[in-house]
Amino acid sequence: MAWQRSAIFTGHKAGVYALCPGTEPWSFLSAGGDGIVSRWDRRTNDHGEQVAGSPKALWSMHFDRGRNMLFLGDSEGGLRTAHPGQGEARHLVAHARGIFSMVPLGNDRIVCAGGDGSISVWHVPTLELERQVPLSD
């Protein structure tokens, strides 16, 4: 079976580490080593539009459509929040090393997995750390 390229999306200046559904049903978001979050239109294949940014490389991301809020995990363990197109809202120190993954849970919680071997559980409406659980030595 031959593979055919259907689109080329260009615009990041470094590696892309995270993808998630976008702000609109036709879009997706990307975040990467250049600290940029871009929104891409699957219908047009144009260059991405920068909707958020960070001075640090971004390794993980989740978009909460209900709150129109981005959660961004950076290379130094920071948990950043932003409203697309409005800039950074908060920067919280979540882990001693980078945040590699994040998953939304029910009851307004989000869990982050850090390079320090722990997970952190955050209450989304208040952005308060509820629990830090070490998983490895």
3-state secondary structure 57-120: CEEEEEEECCCCEEEEEECCCEEEEEECCCEEEEEEECCCCCEEEEEEECCCEEEEEECCCEEE
Whether residue 3 is contained in a domain is answered as no
* CATH number assigned to the domain comprising residue 57: 2.130.10.10
Whether residue 1 is contained in a domain is answered as no
Per-residue pLDDT, 87: 73
Whether residue 2 is contained in a domain is answered as no
Per-residue pLDDT, 44: 84
Per-residue pLDDT, 132: 96
* Highest mean pLDDT pick, 81-85, 91-95, 113-117: 113-117
Taking Cα atoms as reference points, which of 86, 91, 55, 57 lies closest to residue 71? Answer: 91
> pLDDT tier at 137 (50, 70, 90 boundaries)?
confident
Whether residue 4 is contained in a domain is answered as no
Distance CA 55, CA 78 (A): 11
Contact 12, 36 (CB under 8 A): yes
Q: At a CB cut-off of 8 Å and minimum separation 6, what does 18 contact? A: 30, 31, 32, 58, 59, 60, 61, 73
Whether residue 84 is contained in a domain is answered as yes
Average pLDDT, rounded, for the chain: 91
Whether residue 47 is contained in a domain is answered as yes
pLDDT score of 13 more than 80? yes
pLDDT score of 7 more than 90? no
Per-residue pLDDT, 107: 92
Whether residue 5 is contained in a domain is answered as no
Which domain does 124 fall in, by range? 16-134
Distance CA 99, CA 118 (A): 10
- Prediction pTM value: 0.89
Percent of the chain with pLDDT over 90: 71
Whether residue 9 is contained in a domain is answered as no
Per-residue pLDDT, 88: 73
Give 24-72 pLDDT, tens digit per residue.
Answer: 999 999 999 999 999 999 888 777 888 999 999 999 999 999 999 999 9
What total of structural domains would you count in the chain? 1
